[in-house]
Amino acid sequence: MLAIQLFFGGEERTESETRLTRVPLVNIERTGWMWKAFLPEGSDRDHPVVNVFGPNAVDISGVDFPATIVFVGGFDPELIFTL
């Protein structure tokens, strides 16, 4: 499996997310729009698919996932701010 530019989050913004105010592509306004556009209607950022460790998380420890390669773009503000 190839996982390209994963996008996870939760209702409580991370410290690095709050610093995304002057970033051209992945800023708080744009990510807010993406959450509303792509999550099921009526759900929030604590949806178990995007907040995999949040309050609505589902135990997936028994799922047999295939070997996975994760690709992250060269400019990932979340990654840059946490380094």
Count of structural domains within the chain? 1
Beta bridge partners of 3: 70
**Terminal Cα-to-Cα distance of the chain (whole angstroms):** 26
More confidently predicted of 25 and 74: 25
In this prediction, residue 76 carries a pLDDT of 59
Range of the domain at 67: 1-83
Q: What is the DSSP string of 29-78?
A: HHHHHHHHHHSPTT--TT-TTT-TTSTT----TT--PPP-EEE--S--HH
Helix (H/G/I), strand (E/B), else coil: 49: coil
pLDDT digits (tens, 9 = 90+) for 15-54: 877 877 777 777 888 888 888 899 999 999 999 988 988 9
